[in-house]
Amino acid sequence: MSLEVGEIRARAEEFEPRLRDELLQARAGLRTRPEFARLYRDHPDLGDRDLLADVERAMAGAEPEEERRLRCLLEWVAEHQVERSVAPLMDEYFAWEATSTVDLEDQETPLRQLARVVAREEDPSRRRELQGVSEEILEDSVSLRFDILERERDAVRDLGYGGYLEALERFGRQSYRPLLARGKRVADATESLYREHLRLHLARQGVEPGDASRGDELALRRRPFPPGPGAGPSVDAVRDLLRRDLAALDLRLSGLGDVRMDVEQRPLKRPESFCAAPEVPGRIVGVVAGYGGWSDAHDFMGVAGTALSLSHLDPGLPFEDRYLGDPSMGYCWDALFRELLGRPAWLERLELSRERREAFARFAAWVDLLDFRRDVARLEFELDLWEEREPGSVVQAFADRMAAATGFRPPPQIFLEVVGGGLQVARRLRGRLLADRLGAELTDRFGEDWFRNPSAGPFLAELLAGGWRESRRRLRPDEDEEKRDAGEVAARFRKRLGGAP
């Protein structure tokens, strides 16, 4: 059954808010079992394979602006059909995760709370024990997660656009290997400095290099330094300061809609921070995972940046520019605002001593580099994974690569939790590189304190109003993004880290 492009857009705009709300309910721990499969069944026309051909026919001879929008719509239709195939398994997985518990000291603890328990554990030995508990329970979901991975791979191939990576590159109009190469150049150029800081932070935890686990990283993120006066910025202090800065820029977090920051700790809240936008720009929710300590302030800044980018876009934009566009732009705003916690000039207005401010700024910069390195390693792993006929053969390789890149070894099985969904890691890595570009441009134009310079307000407002439209046309369009010298990114990391710890 063929549909006119206008009908596809109208039905997509009806469906997308419902899907995003369902994801929000499931990930924020507000619902035990989502109903993704039912939601897709309620919109059978969007599962018709002819829709891809319908959009492609409309692209033939379309004006450049309309063609750009249609390319976004084509990618959405493809993703929708893949996600439709995976939806029943995702319902099952979310239900398993939300109802699973672990026995900790004769007390049943929800599985989704285990990462927070690990992060708050002071004793490295006990953290390793808890990590073992985590690995054991993850084994129960391995078969289901492999089924999800294989069904996604098959669904992409069934679209008729080639293999998994080939299809994603055609829809996303980007090549992943050049992006990986740029990321690896940055990681290589900052290798020795990253390792120096890693050794310092592990020593403060009493952990030997080579023995550090994912649990040690979680604990480090939560409390990077020994407790003491002014041990770190709180979420409340960070929120108040961000509001003051936005007011100086004549912006506000709620923008043109309703933005709510969810910092509540709930038993079934997943241990991940994210920003959900069921109605753009009408209803946006920034969810902070709630590990406690410094990590909550860091995550708050990231999800607030994404929320800002969604709440200030022009509500008159078409569906593709309000709900779709280039997802890397969302990650760009996330990274840009997280980076503020690595600026002494931003931290100086908090009640911290100068020594603490400088230490936290260096730590925040190091965490950003840690996350950058992890994304580079994950992208390389996923590119290899999707070309591997037997994904089970690379389980151990995931843990080895993450340990080599970051110094922290995750459970091998966790790769099934983080892999999938159309190579989101590539979008996030590209977003980090875009954030470096945008941060450099803001500093060049408005100074080191651009975040509170009223002159920066109109520039940011104009950029925000355009939503997530294709980034390469909007950030320094005179430069070719793919050929950008990674040395500049590495140099800024080195400057933020301030040399040796």
Query: Tell me: the pLDDT tens digits for 425-440?
Result: 999 999 999 999 999 9
Contact status, residue 406 vs residue 373, Cβ threshold 8 Å: yes
Mean of pLDDT values over 181-207:
93
Q: What is the dihedral of CA 225, 229, 235, 238, to 10 degrees?
A: -100
The three-state (H, E, C) secondary structure of 288-345, written as one string? CCCCCCHHHHHHHHHHHHHHHHHHCCCCCCCHHHHHCCCCHHHHHHHHHHHHHHHCHH
Distance between CA 356 and CA 345 in Å, rounded? 13
Residue for token digits 């509500």?
Answer: 315
pTM, two decimal places: 0.93
DSSP-assigned states of every residue in 208-251: -TT--BHHHHHHHHH-SS---TT-S--HHHHHHHHHHHHHHTT-
Position 131 scores a pLDDT of: 85
Name the pairing type of β-strands 101-104 and 107-110: antiparallel
Distance between CA 405 and CA 377 in Å, rounded? 6
Query: Tell me: the pLDDT tens digits for 60-115?
Result: 989 999 998 999 999 999 999 999 999 999 999 999 999 999 988 888 999 999 99
359 SS3 class:
helix
Give the angle 430-257-433 at the CA atoms, nearest 5°.
10
Q: Where are the domains of the chain?
A: 177-497
Neighbours of 172 (CB within 10 A): 20
Task: Please report, for residues 126, 170, 212, 376, 402, the alpha-carbon distance to residue 217 in angstroms, rounded to integers and kept in the order given.
Answer: 14, 36, 7, 18, 12
Q: Which helix (H) or strand (E) holds 495?
A: helix 486-497
Distance between CA 463 and CA 328 in Å, rounded? 14
Nearest to 275 by CA among 217, 327, 230, 347: 327
Tally the C-alpha atoms within 13 A of residue 27's C-alpha that lie toward its C-beta.
18
Residue for token digits 């590990």?
Answer: 291
Contact status, residue 200 vs residue 207, Cβ threshold 8 Å: no
277 SS3 class:
strand
482 — pLDDT class (breaks 50, 70, 90) = very low
478 — pLDDT class (breaks 50, 70, 90) = very low
Q: Tell me phi and psi for residue 290, to 5 degrees.
A: 90, 50
Single-letter amino acid code for the residue at 36: F
pLDDT cut 70: percent of the chain above it: 93
Q: Which CATH architecture has domain 177-497?
A: Orthogonal Bundle (1.10)
Position 479 scores a pLDDT of: 46
Q: Tell me phi and psi for residue 67, to 5 degrees.
A: -65, -40
Query: Tell me: the pLDDT tens digits for 435-474?
Result: 999 999 999 999 999 999 999 999 999 999 988 876 555 5
Position 500 scores a pLDDT of: 52
Q: Tell me phi and psi for residue 286, to 5 degrees.
A: -95, 120
Q: In whole numbers, what is the pLDDT of the chain averaged over residues?
A: 88
Distance between CA 405 and CA 399 in Å, rounded? 10
Mean of pLDDT values over 120-135:
88
Tally the C-alpha atoms within 13 A of residue 39's C-alpha that lie toward its C-beta.
26
What are 221's two structure tokens?
């993120």
